[in-house]
Amino acid sequence: MPRRCMGRLAAALICVLTVVLTSACGSGEEPTDNEPDGGGSPVTVRLGFSAWPGWFPWQVAQEQGLFARNGVSVTLKWFDNYTDSINSLTAGTLDGNSQTLNDTITSVSGGAKQTVVLVNDNSTGNDQIVAASGINGVAGLKGRKVAVEQGTVDHYLLLLALARAGLHEQDVELVPMPTAEAAHAFVDGKVDAVGAFAPFTTTALERSGSTVVASSKDFPGAIPDALAFDAGFVKEHKQQVQAIVQTWFDTLAWIKANPEKAIDTMSKRAGVSVSDYKTYDAGTTIFTREQNLTAFAPGSNPVNLEHQADAIANFLVSTKLVDAKPSMKGLLDAQFVKAATG
């Protein structure tokens, strides 16, 4: 499965960040004199990201030369379509990708070997189910057409919301399509509701009378967004992985010190105005190093990745989105967060 406003606009603007994909659309490179882990040519890390507020800081890292400052060579690859980034990591054309924990577990269920090394954020409202005028709650979706990118985290959110309302997926007419297309189809009146994440929620809410009937805010901790690597790459190139994790925390510090410049960079990458970008603030909670340490620690709290991974896996099996619960061995690796500063 795939993807992925925070009200703290001054010192906490580091939490301002936004999404799903269909085709790779551009890339940038941070050349460095990065040393190989064990002989041979220097390693350039192929790192993917897409439209989601919690992942736009990577654009800041690139433009401010923060990868190079940490001695790592990175080809940063942008995907218009989030699903394409998931598939690229699974296919081996990326070494690492920012993606939801849900999608990572889905990939692992299909046989992929992936390791989560960093939590970028938790979705706290920027994943939404938006419905047309006259539909005042999730129960009102019964018998209605709902567009969503099938297998993505917003599909997951829809199922969670339906279950809470005593409904099942079969109670709605699911219309599968990429998130960007789904948002436009909703605005054009072709469907009655849409599951989307920011910035596509901005598009969806352009429909007159539309309203949010459910969001990730209703399900705390259910949608962690993380940096996942090919498990083999992590074993062979720990130095590079460590440098990228450190770059993340350095980038958050840069954003905190330069909020207006950072928002300008991130809003341009998102393709929205600065004012629209600021509305995403409360819907994405960017994780500090301390929050990462808590997330990676064992526990049964919604913030603990171990707990969420088990809940997600059970849900995917119960809804028949995957055939069997995958092994979680090697899925979570806290060593890089522990070794980082910031």
Q: Same domain, yes or no, for 22 and 117?
A: yes
In a domain, 8, yes or no: no
Confirm if 86 and 2 have CB atoms less than 8 A apart: yes
Number of domains forming the structure of the chain: 2
pLDDT of residue 2: 37
Which of these three, 189, 218, 247, is where a domain ends? 218
Going by their DSSP bridges, the two strands 145-148 and 193-197 should be labelled as parallel
In a domain, 312, yes or no: yes
pLDDT of residue 22: 32
Which residues are within 8 A (CB) of 38 and not within 5 positions of it... i.e. 6 or more apart? 236
Average pLDDT over residues 22-44: 48
Confirm if 212 and 135 have CB atoms less than 8 A apart: no
Residue of 27 and 60 predicted with greater confidence: 60
pLDDT tens for residues 229-243? 999 999 999 999 999
Q: Same domain, yes or no, for 171 and 86?
A: no
Q: Which range among 1-15, 82-96, 162-176 shows the weakest confidence by mean pLDDT?
A: 1-15
pLDDT tens for residues 164-199? 999 999 999 999 999 999 999 999 999 999 999 999
Size (the chain), residues: 342
In a domain, 3, yes or no: no
Residue 122 has pLDDT above 80, yes or no: yes
Confirm if 335 and 235 have CB atoms less than 8 A apart: no
Tokens of 57: 């800081």
322 — pLDDT class (breaks 50, 70, 90) = confident
Which of these three, 172, 197, 218, is where a domain ends? 218
pLDDT of residue 315: 82
Cβ-in-10-Å burial (0-12, 13-18, 19+) of 39 comes to: exposed
Q: For residue 294, give its domain range.
A: 13-124+222-339
Q: Same domain, yes or no, for 234 and 305?
A: yes
Q: Same domain, yes or no, for 238 and 319?
A: yes
CATH number at residue 203: 3.40.190.10
Q: Same domain, yes or no, for 137 and 194?
A: yes
DSSP state of 29: E
In a domain, 6, yes or no: no
